[in-house]
Each structure stands twice: as C-alpha cells, then as structure tokens.
Structure 1
Amino acid sequence: MIRKVSGLIQGRHTMDGAGVKLYRVFGGTEVAQITDPFLLLDFFGSSKPEEYIMGFPWHPHRGIETVTYVMEGKVEHEDSEGNKGVIYPGDIQWMTAGSGIFHQEMPKPLDDKEVLHTKVLNTNNKGLQLWINLPANKKMTTPVYRGLKNTQIPKEDIEGGYVKIVAGEYKGIPGPVKAGKDVDPTYLHVSLSPESEFYHKVKEGYTVLAYVIQGKAKFDPNSPEISEGNLVIFDQGDEIKVNTTENNSVEFILLAGKPLREPIAWYGPIVMNTQQQILEALSDLRKGTFIRNKTPIFE
C-alpha cells in the first residue's frame, strides 16, 4: 500500500554554534514524538562566509548519533580523541556519540586549489545535519566514528535522476553505513528531473520522512506538489511513490527508521531517557569525567 502524506512540518530560520545561520527543519522533544527515532534536522546553506565561518566550536554529545552531509563547501572537524579531517562535497560523517565525545565542526568555503579540483566556483557552504536517537541500552555505548567519502557511497542512476544510498538499501544495493538494528535507519538522497518517478519499498510500522531540499513534487499520487523547505510526514504503508510534474524537478532526502517509543530527556547536545541521566551528564562535564570510553571504534 502506498503511503499517503499525513502532514507537513515547516522549519524556522535560527542561529546555532558560534553564530551560524541555519534552517532548523525540525527538532525538540514534542516533535520527536512524531519523527521518532529522528530527533533533529538542520539545513545549512549560505554563500556569505560571515554567516557560517564561526562554525560550531568544541561541544559535547551523548546518547545520540549525528550525521553530517556536506553538499557544497567543506567542514573541518576534530574530536576529543584526536581524530580530525575535512568533509568535502558529497562526503558523510556518521558519528555515534554514545557515552560521550567532544568535537568541533567548522564550515569553510573551498580554497582556490580545492575549487579547481571540485569545479565548484563559489563560496557556498551547504549541507545537512541529522540527529538520530539511540535506544536506552545503547546510550552509554563506546563511540563509533565513520567518515565516508563521496566515492564510497553508492549512487544508482534511475530514469530521470539518481538515488544516493547512505544507509539502508535501494533495490538491493546497501549503503556503506551498517547502523544498529534498534533503529535500522534508511538515508537516501534522491534527485528527479521533470516528469519522473521514484518508487521505494519501506517497512510497515517505521517512521518515514522526506525533506525537500529544492524544487517540488507530489509525494503521494493524490497530494498537491510540496515545495522546498518542507518536511513530509508519511502515513502507514509499505511503499513510497514520488512524482514530478512537467515543469518541476525535485531533490530530497528520504529517511526511514524504527521508532524507539522511549521517554526523552533533552538538554542541548545531550539526549537521554531521564532527567537524572541529564543531571549525571552535567555533573560529568563539571568534574571532567564526561568521556567514559577513551578509545572509540572506527568503521
């Protein structure tokens, strides 16, 4: 059965980090009941370095996974375990914070050498960051860091566009992220030209969302066209069908995951199950004992 569009969420423009202008698609305890297991989605996009150059200096995370997807420009990152690098256009950083990690993410324009290499001739910095909840029995797990280059992420050409497979699978093609069975996430980047169709099987009972990056499309056969900046919430069913009309193309992110249906206690970059766990995390920050596991696993 094809899933119908059951609702839309429109984000809001805000600032985070040290003054980065971004578009918060969704986020917060109340909305998380609808988007479970997904907690937050931010879209960042600007051609003005002064709107993003101050970045996201050192900050902690516990109890969640963060997925950073860079589309234009680059993000320089570093964490408390000494790992550092650069996320370039098309790359993904998938980090399981687990019991706790400090990191910083600093968006930058590409320099002259990188512009020649990537043929991106502007100062744009554009991408997405998604937060995924961890189940109660995994919130204090050892951190896991995954850095994926664009060339490591399968990209399947379809009639009228393509599907980039970060996690989950599309037509039997698996994404490179082997995330846990508790949430079983799917993360697809889909691009369609005018008069094209995208069809995908999804699991019954899973939360399914689509964020429209640009353009517009019909996200079920009977829905009106839904335009960029909107988050599509799907009803139940086991199929997704998206169509573009004669004059419009679309680019969107499709997310699917098994809802955890667990209590949420949220304080900034820390998401746990109880207020007592939040107080414990804040105590750890004060005492300098926030990092519980010193050696994260790399995948």
Structure 2
Amino acid sequence: MIRKVSGIIQGKYTVDGAGVKLYRVFGGVPTAYITDPFLLLDFFGSSNPSDYISGFPWHPHRGIETVTYLLEGKVEHEDSEGNKGVIYPGDVQWMTAGSGIFHQEMPKPLSLEDKGILQSKILDNSNKGLQLWINLPSNKKMSTPVYRGVKSSHVPKVKIDSGEVKIIAGEFQGVNGPVKAGLYVDPTYFDVILRPEGEFIQKVKENYTVLVYVIQGGADFDDRTKVDEGNLVIYGEGDEVRIRSQEGSRFIFLSGKPIKENIAWYGPIVMNTDDQIREALLDLRRGTFVRDKNPVFE
C-alpha cells in the first residue's frame, strides 16, 4: 500500500550554539513522539560567515546519536574522546554519544588550502548542511560512545532515470550505505535529487516512521499533496513511498523504527526519566559526565 501524507511541519528560524543562525525543521518533546525515533533536524545555510562562524563550542551529549551531513563549506570538529578533523562537502559525521561525550563543531568557509584539497574551482563563504538527532533506546543510552567519520567518496550514489540517490544509511536498489554497525533504530538516510518530471520510489517497512525534508524545489508526495522547500512531510502507514517532482527537487528521506519510550529532554541530553536528567547534570557538576574512556572508532 502506498503511504499517504499524514502531516506537514513547517520549521522556524532560530539561533543555537554560540550564535549560529539556523532553520529548525523539527525538535522538542511533543514533536519527538510523532517523529520517533528522530528527535531533531536542523538545516544551516548561509553565505555570510557572521551567521555561523561563532559555531558550537564545547558541549555535552548523552543518550542520543548526532548525524552531521555537510553540503557546502567545512566544519572543524573535536571531541573528548580524541577525535579531531574537518568535515567537507558530502562528508558525514555519525556520532553515538551513548553514556556521554563532549564535542565542538565550528563551521567555516572554505580556504584556498581547502580548495586544493578538494580539487574544486568553487571558493566562496557559503556553509550549508544538516544535523539530525536520533534517539537511543533505554538499554543503549549508557552505551560506549562510537564515532563514525564517512568521507564523501565513500557515500554510494545510485543513478536513477530521473536523478540521483546518495545513500548514507539504509538500502536502495540493492546498494547499502556506509553507516551500518551499531544502528539501534534501523535508520534509512538518503539525499535525493530529482530532475523535472522525476519520480522516486522506495519500499519501506510497516510501522516504521517515514519523514521527508524538502531542501529545494517542491514535489507531489502523494496524489493529493504538493509540498515546497522548507517543509517536513510525515507519512502515514503503508509499505511504499512515491514522490514525483514536476519542477525538480532535492530532499532528505528518513525512515526508522520507533522506540516508543518516554522522553526526558534537557538541552543536548535526552534520557527516559527526570531522575536520569538530574543524574546527568550532577555528573556535569562533578566532572564525571564522560563515563567510558574507551570509545569505539569506526
């Protein structure tokens, strides 16, 4: 059965980190029960460095996974587990915070040196990308932190008659994404580009949450619903999604197994109970927030 659109969420502009201007597609406790297992999706994009250069200095995470997918510019990152590097366009950083981790992410425009590294002719002040938060089930919230860094060259691209599908996680036409091990909600994460009159068809699992965020253009998400950029589509039940674009579009396709557990949320910490939140805050005051000193690097 083809899934129908059950809801549409329009995001809002906000400021986060040390003053980064971004577009919050969705996020917060009430919405999280609808988008379960996905907690939050931010879209950041500007050609003015003053909108993003202040970045996201050192901050903690516990109980979730964060997925940063960069489209333009670069992000310099570092964390308390010893990871340090640069995310370039097309790269993915998939981090399981688990029992606790500190990190910082500092968006920057590409430099002349970066231009040489990327062998690119494009050099401007643009910085654009997305960060997704994924909830962890209660029995994995205090698991060992895991860091996965995926370069653009390792993200498979499948050409379809009407465009292209980049597979970050999940499977499309027999091709699997590079992020596999330790994924607790069976996530699918695609970046889909459709040409005018293009169509995207994907089988999905029954009872899984299916979301689509329109980055650019617009499309028909069922036979009655056209959605333009900046909006999130929430699908109802069924086992197949069909999206048709009359004018061409780009969108992020997400699917995952709902956790269906209570959510207690305090800033960058998401647990199941208020007592667990208080414990995390006490750990921060005591300096014992990072519980596991032996993270996994993949």
**TM-score per shorter chain, which class?**
over 0.9
User: Residues 114-136 of structure 1: CA distance to partner in whole angstroms, max 9, x if unpaired?
Assistant: 23522323210000000000000
Q: Which residue of 1 aligns with 2:235?
A: 234
Structure 1 outlier segments of 4+, above 3 Å:
179-182
List runs of 5+ in structure 1 lacking aligned partners: none
Q: Which residue of 1 aligns with 2:256?
A: 257
Q: Whole-Å Cα distance in 2 between the matches of residues 119 and 228 of structure 1? A: 28
Contact 1:19 1:54 in 2 (8 A): yes
Q: Whole-Å Cα distance in 1 between the matches of residues 193 and 183 of structure 2? A: 27
Contact 1:220 1:241 in 2 (8 A): yes
1:196-275 correspondence to structure 2 within 5 Å: 196-223=198-225, 225-245=226-246, 248-275=247-274
Q: Which residue of 2 aligns with 1:2?
A: 2
Range that drifts further, 174-183 or 79-88 = 174-183
Contact 1:221 1:241 in 2 (8 A): no
AA in 2 matched with 1:238: D
User: Residues 97-124 of structure 1: CA distance to partner in whole angstroms, max 9, x if unpaired?
Assistant: 0000000000000002323522323210
Deviation at 1:81, TM superposition (A): 1.6
Q: Whole-Å Cα distance in 1 between the matches of residues 156 and 177 of structure 2? A: 7
Deviation at 1:172, TM superposition (A): 1.3
Classify the secondary structure of the residue corresponding to 1:219: strand
1:51 maps onto 2:51 in alignment: yes
Q: Which residue of 2 aligns with 1:286?
A: 285
Q: Whole-Å Cα distance in 2 between the matches of residues 49 and 181 of structure 1? A: 34
Q: Whole-Å Cα distance in 1 between the matches of residues 257 and 29 of structure 2? A: 17
1:96-115 correspondence to structure 2 within 5 Å: 96-115=96-115
Q: Which residue of 1 aligns with 2:13?
A: 13
Q: Whole-Å Cα distance in 2 between the matches of residues 178 and 164 of structure 1? A: 15
Q: How many residues align?
A: 296
Q: Which residue of 1 aligns with 2:140?
A: 138
Deviation at 1:179, TM superposition (A): 4.5
Percent identity between matched residues is 70
Q: Which residue of 1 aligns with 2:87?
A: 87
Contact 1:214 1:252 in 2 (8 A): yes
Contact 1:38 1:131 in 2 (8 A): yes
Structure 2 counterpart of 1:124, from 126, 129, 140 = 126
Contact 1:213 1:251 in 2 (8 A): yes
User: Residues 195-250 of structure 1: CA distance to partner in whole angstroms, max 9, x if unpaired?
Assistant: 11100000000000000001000011232x210000000010000100011xx110
Range that drifts further, 181-190 or 250-259 = 181-190
Contact 2:36 2:209 in 1 (8 A): yes
Relative to the length of structure 2, the TM-score reads: 0.98
Classify the secondary structure of the residue corresponding to 1:118: coil
Classify the secondary structure of the residue corresponding to 2:222: coil
Q: Whole-Å Cα distance in 1 between the matches of residues 279 and 49 of structure 2? A: 38
List runs of 5+ in structure 2 lacking aligned partners: none
Relative to the length of structure 1, the TM-score reads: 0.97
Q: 1:49 to 1:85 in 2, by over 3 A?
A: same
Q: Whole-Å Cα distance in 2 between the matches of residues 120 and 187 of structure 1? A: 27
Q: Whole-Å Cα distance in 1 between the matches of residues 238 and 201 of structure 2? A: 13
AA in 2 matched with 1:107: P
1:39 maps onto 2:46 in alignment: no
Deviation at 1:291, TM superposition (A): 0.5
Q: 1:181 to 1:82 in 2, by over 3 A?
A: closer
Contact 1:221 1:242 in 2 (8 A): no
Contact 1:79 1:104 in 2 (8 A): yes
Q: Whole-Å Cα distance in 1 between the matches of residues 80 and 217 of structure 2? A: 39
AA in 2 matched with 1:237: G
Q: 1:256 to 1:233 in 2, by over 3 A?
A: same
